[in-house]
Amino acid sequence: MSVLDRGSQPSWLPLALMAITARSVGETCEAAKRASRTIVGAPTASKDAALAATARLLGERSAEILEANAADLADERASGLTASLRDRLTLSAERIAGMAEGVQTVAALDDPVGEELERRTLESGLDLRKVRVPLGVVAVVYEARPNVTIDCAALTIKSGNAIVLRGSSYAERSNAALAAVAQDALVEVGLPEDAVALLSVGGGRDELAELATQEGSVDLLIPRGGEGLKNALKKVATVPVIYAAAGNCHVYVHADADLEMARRIAYNAKVQRPGVCNAAETLLVDAAVAAEFLPGVLADLHGAGVELVGDERTRELAGGVEVGVATDADWGTEYLDLKMVVGVVDSLEEAVDHVNDHGTSHSEAIVTSSADASERFAAGVDAAVVYTNASTRFTDGFEFGMGAEIGNSTQKLHARGPIGLRELTTYKYVVHGDGQVRG
């Protein structure tokens, strides 16, 4: 049942009615394309004014947004979610204030549109400039996190793009209330409402397939989700896609690690917020320090409610902490929950090989006091972000000074890592002459 069909009329419903488009996928994408032709030329001041209005309206409508979110959490569609997914779905006054802060941070960033990347005079005398321009229409498919609605809207408005959003059914009301905030902010400053569009969720996988084939109107599709979503779209997509997909992240404790530091980092990377893609799923420990390190860190993790599985050496050195038998599948699983697989390796090279064999090219960390080991790990690991002596949890657009992110790309083209303002642009060559013709 759609949010539009519910019998009661709570205070958040007018926001939902405004935000969720009743048009088809194709009609919505065409409207976004038309809007993109206006917002592409919007001055920075107008875009920043829209973001300021968005931040203000988030505060003014906080109660309505929380009411919509409470209705989502109470819906039977959310009843089967894991604790970590419910955490991702849940909004609070503090989280809404954090969204507003992120929008303000995006507004304060330099506008990438029009940035000159290169300029030179050709032998023909032509003046050639390479300048940043918006992509056009960006479509984003995402799951339980309604804050993504605002993050995406803020980044695309600032970068001169239009956006088509398609969230999950169990966040339908929350997403609608938040999208309406961005749309109203656009209208308030004279920019097209259709620059932010939210699709209904009634069409299921067929609707996703339709969105992924909107050639001519959608310039880039960014799916945020697990390998299932990624694989489903790979089969049908005819528009360019950047996959902000799974994060099977590792922490490797090197033989020369400060073990107290390693203990803090491993705990934070797993426990601080386990339901997100930059949380660590695997802990690798060098055999030289495993006997000293493992009993303490495993006790920390177990005490925090983490279900532990591991290889034979890990179980032998667990110091009485319960550690289950790791299956082959465990090493490649993104749990997004309080579960972790732990292994002992004999060398840095073995750790690098393990990460490259089982990781998803998201975020990987080494804890070491050796500069040589740090450099070898960073050079050898194939990942968007590689850390030395820091938690993988820092892979985030806000933490990287981008204000927000549309997702974290685990591929190499056209963007890698957090997708911020500049990653939502391409470039064109602008050439000026004084009558040249080619002989």
Q: Which helix (H) or strand (E) holds 373?
A: helix 371-380
Report the amino acid identity of residue 319. G
Please count the other Cβ atoms lying within 10 Å of the Cβ belonging to residue 114: 11
pLDDT per residue rounded down to tens, the chain (439 residues): 344 444 455 765 665 555 665 789 999 999 999 999 999 999 999 999 999 999 999 999 999 999 999 999 999 888 888 887 888 899 999 999 999 999 999 999 999 999 999 999 999 999 999 999 999 999 999 987 899 999 999 999 999 999 999 999 999 999 999 999 999 999 999 999 999 999 988 767 788 899 999 999 999 999 987 778 888 888 999 999 998 868 999 999 999 999 999 999 999 999 999 988 999 999 999 999 999 999 999 999 999 999 999 999 999 999 999 999 999 999 999 999 999 999 999 999 999 999 999 999 999 999 999 999 999 999 999 999 999 999 999 999 989 988 889 989 988 888 999 999 999 999 999 999 999 999 8
Alpha helices in 92-243 (DSSP H): 93-108, 147-158, 172-188, 204-211, 227-234
Residue 365 in contact with residue 359, Cβ under 8 Å?
no
3-state helix, strand, coil in the chain (%, to 5): 45, 20, 35
Is residue 175 classed as helix, strand or coil in its secondary structure? Answer: helix
CB contact at 8 A, 275 and 84: yes
Identify the pLDDT of residue 82.
83
Distances in Å between the Cα of 212 and the Cα atoms of 139, 198, 270, 313 are: 9, 15, 33, 46
| Cα–Cα distance for residue pair 349/294, rounded to 1 Å | 20
Domains and CATH numbers, the chain: 3-244+413-430 (3.40.605.10), 249-394 (3.40.309.10)
The reported pTM is 0.87
Q: Is residue 259 a contact partner of residue 253, using CB atoms and an 8 Å limit?
A: yes
Looking at residue 3, its pLDDT comes to 43
pLDDT for 78: 87
- 154 to 16, 303, 375, 420, 424: CA distances (angstroms): 19, 39, 36, 10, 12
Query: Phi, psi (5° rounding) for residue 219?
Result: -90, -25
Collapse the DSSP code of 11 into the 3-class scheme (helix H, G, I; strand E, B; otherwise coil) and give the result: coil
Task: For the beta carbon of residue 438, count every other beta carbon within 10 angstroms.
Answer: 4
Task: Tokens for 434, please give them.
Answer: 């004084």
pLDDT at 6: 41
Q: Is cis: bond before 414, omega within 30 of 0?
A: yes
- Which residues face 307 on adjacent strands? 339
